A and B are shown apart, each in its own frame.
Chain A
């Protein structure tokens, strides 16, 4: 297994919840992490090329990332692991569940990308690298003015100011580069994934920010309809990052599903 930076939190004896991050690694400062870690063992790796995880020279496909996370599941103790994927990480989580792993016990997809639903001239997913960051910021948050300080979601470029350190900028740049490497084209989806979502055999929750205009709740509803018996829920007053914008409602949905 390759080296990965891993954020660990919560009691070692707790049920494992593997968090698969989106455009940036899960921040240890995010309140939702501490809330989940009260009873659960949180494992949140940084993907290769993100955070402090090295990027092997030839890695550049979703295939690489899915196999990395199959390795991660192999390495974790226990037999009943829940996996939650956010945005781009939701795509990884969906691919992982299609590939299947005996330890994978529950699946949560949060504002996930990864599939193509609309027609060839319909853009399901806003192009993250070809959209003005101000517009990304506007579309990614229910209320951009209230986005948490020091924790960066889509449109992070709009938050650049004198209060951001050089190290934060360097980390954001590296994450952005790596995201692009894996997801430039086709942009944020696998054209074949949609037809294989029926292979997901674990209970699945598809959770969506009601105000997400990066990938809309309708997209999420359609995504859920392709996964056998998946439950679809929305979180009010939240955009693409409901775990950051409405952590209490997010935790409530997750705990209800996992308990």
Chain B
């Protein structure tokens, strides 16, 4: 039997810059001047979202933090800082940092130290997520966008060794990182280390996650891409002679709003796609022409006219149909999540992006209450997907 965990992820967006400024800007990430960020508004946003996280702690919804830089899409900026605060203001739920951008951070040992500290403060409630990133983050962090997959894996290896070595300093002389004296204090609370997650739909990376048993989370992948990614994970384990993964190795992030009625949820849910229609606008040199964004063979498809246009009219109905949003009254959302789980071959951890775009604090708080009280109980003790498919 599987019980699906529900996690709340808020990117702390800043949808308060005048539309004419955003329309005129080449990019709303990386290069938008910070004079458009009012610190008083930002302070209110931090207060509101920390309050939402405390409600989630009371309700049993786990919490995800992340980071992006220099843009209207995300005010977290430093995931370990935010996660450290969340560790102190919550008591029960798990906290996932998904994550600090390790391809941008120059010293993985420092990252390991930050995470070990948070794990101790939270008394063992931290999960550590890795994201490769790219695009605007490469200029914001002055990180070479080439070879980031290799750099990410070496960073993960060094972080893991830093977290699990307890007998004095060790030395690291890798391709991307060197450190002659690694000996972090404090050591992590959880043994041998906090759970690792990674966000990717890149098939070779999914396969490697499978071999390592790291939780694979897909962001807005929809039905087919998500199923393919999870299959790559399963097949890699099978090929390596490893046990089949349980559903808790698979996670999926989607937009989500739970209302009293479908009508209410659709109306408020329509405020969420701002994330895709407004907040991802980025300059061509930070997107389709950034080196390393895709293999050279894919350049013609990416560069020819008409490709990579930003969506402008995403509806809740379309996003639900694509498996990128769960929205409706509690029963509707339960049905959507159960159907998604079946279609992707099993998923044990759903990350809900609810406080996104123009959704307000009060609207988010209402959705979390309904989610915890009326959706979560219906996602417990579900029959295994494969077994059910066989029975049918």
Contact = CB atoms under 8 A, between A and B. Distances in A.
A166 B300 contact: yes
A184 B283 CA distance: 18
Given A157-B289, A160-B303, A170-B300, A181 B283 contact: no
Contacts of B300: 166, 169-170
B388 interface: no
B291 A176 contact: yes
A173 B283 contact: no
A18 B87 CA distance: 62
A169 B299 contact: yes
A122 interface: no
B145 A180 contact: yes
A160 B290 CA distance: 15
Given A58-B175, A160-B303, A172-B299, A180 B291 contact: yes
B44 interface: no
A79 interface: no
A171 B291 CA distance: 13
Interface string B266-290: 0000000000000000011110011
A160 B288 CA distance: 13
Contacts, number: 61
B260 interface: no
A126 to B, nearest CB: 11
A37 to B, nearest CB: 29
Interface in A223-247: none
Given A170-B296, A173-B299, A129 B147 contact: no
B372 interface: no
A169 B305 CA distance: 13
Is the contact region of chain A dominated by helix, strand, or loop, or is it mixed? helix
Interface in A160-180: 160, 162, 166, 169-174, 176-177, 179-180
A177 B291 CA distance: 5
B292 interface: yes
B85 interface: no
A162 B145 CA distance: 28
A185 B142 CA distance: 8
B387 interface: no
Given A177-B291, A180-B144, A129 B285 contact: yes
Given A170-B297, A180-B144, A185-B144, A133 B289 contact: yes
Contact of A184 (B145, B284, B296, B297): B145
Given A166-B300, A177-B292, 14 more contacts: A60-B147, A129-B285, A131-B285, A132-B26, A132-B283, A160-B303, A160-B304, A162-B304, A169-B299, A170-B299, A177-B146, A177-B296, A180-B144, A181-B144
Which 6 A-B pairs have CB atoms at the shortest separation, nearest pair first? Answer: A180-B291, A173-B299, A173-B296, A184-B144, A174-B296, A181-B146
17 contacts: A60-B147, A129-B139, A129-B291, A130-B285, A157-B303, A160-B303, A160-B304, A162-B304, A170-B296, A170-B299, A170-B300, A180-B146, A180-B291, A181-B144, A181-B147, A184-B291, A185-B142
